[in-house]
Structure 1
């Protein structure tokens, strides 16, 4: 790994860490109120799955240390988020979280690792893991499309978090450049999709400035968020 690719890899670690930590304010509120309210645990369960697979991919792949380090931290922080759902969620959500975590965060990674190790050669193992990781990222990055559609329909980006969209765009760009430099198409495809989505959200901010719509929404009595909590948080997932 040369100096330039190392620089972009380290920069990607920094931006990814910031995104992993971005829901901290939400979870401080959860701990303070001892309730997860209407937040959905699925984005965090999926983020934990993604971090597990990307960490193993980084360990298996030559020169994959920078991928493994950031996602190793992701495993730690997303595990805390999931644990807080198990502590403070209503009974129904708690049971749902436990079932999803058992299947997606334990069963699926263990099965993927065992099957690839027992049936595939070293290079094929890496490629299969990379395919799984990239596919999971693309699916997750596509989840805010419904929220973006509502922004277009209402002509207001009032409840689309700008800082998160900007971070997703920058993070995707940095990791895409890193992927090009190290010739890793799986990292490139997955983060390229994140960059495109983040850039599209920034375009929506330009097209539909929220400050122009706040008054209209208040006059109509439409005080409810345009985006459900789970949709607001979902972009925090899968940062490599």
Structure 2
């Protein structure tokens, strides 16, 4: 098996596995008939991220990007559907969903209609997707600072940290093989933040704390 094909398979397996951690939240919502203890924005922002990278993959004719983000978008839409079904405050969720829909439509209008097809369209879309991905990887830094202050890693998921490290590493290597810096560069912060989390587990966690706990968060 060629190295690029191996990386493609690794990207698919690790990324789909990471997206699937939300199934635990879905199971929790169905069991309790409530979505009060589940975060909605990670589902919504991840779905937008999937849509952007899906379009980028279609423009580049990259089957790996297309497959991963089709699966990811479908899973996020499933989580969103169940969240909207079980949440009591539907007005807040509806307004956030409408805002996300407006952003998605505006992005599609700009990149598909206003921009001419070609390298400029691909470059600007890649840059937008990269910036959005970097912001998602860096978003938990405030929580990491709080963990350092409190000396507790209870809010961290060790299994998700491992999944994030494997996923971001495989995408970074995949982008490097393709010489596509829009894929490579935004996944590098995922490696860095994962290493920081590993250090925090080593520094603060007891053996009982380093247990699998699947929780969908920004990565």
Q: What TM-score does the superposition give when structure 2 sets the normalisation length?
A: 0.91
| Distance in 2 of aligned mates of 1:77 and 1:117 | 25
Whether 1:59 aligns to 2:42 is no
Q: Which runs of 5+ in 1 are unaligned?
A: 214-231
1:1-240 superposed matches below 5 A: 3-62=2-61, 64-91=62-89, 94-104=90-100, 106-121=101-116, 122-211=118-207, 233-235=216-218
1:15 to partner: Cα distance: 0.2
Cα 1:40–1:158 change in 2 (3 A) is: closer
C-alpha root-mean-square deviation of aligned residues, in Å? 1.8
Q: Which runs of 4+ in 1 moved over 4 A?
A: none
| Distance in 1 of aligned mates of 2:6 and 2:207 | 38
Q: What TM-score does the superposition give when structure 1 sets the normalisation length?
A: 0.83
CA contact (8 A) 1:158 1:211 kept: no
Quote the residue 1:228 is aligned against. Answer: none
Q: Structure 1, residues 153-193: CA drift from partner, whole Å, max 9, x if none?
A: 12122331100011101111111000000011111111111
| Distance in 2 of aligned mates of 1:6 and 1:23 | 27
Q: Which runs of 5+ in 2 are unaligned?
A: 210-214
Q: Structure 1, residues 59-78: CA drift from partner, whole Å, max 9, x if none?
A: 0014x110111000111000
1:212 to partner: Cα distance: 8.5
Cα 1:212–1:167 change in 2 (3 A) is: closer
CA contact (8 A) 2:50 2:73 kept: yes
1:211 to partner: Cα distance: 4.6
Q: Would you say how many aligned residue pairs link Structure 1 and Structure 2?
A: 213
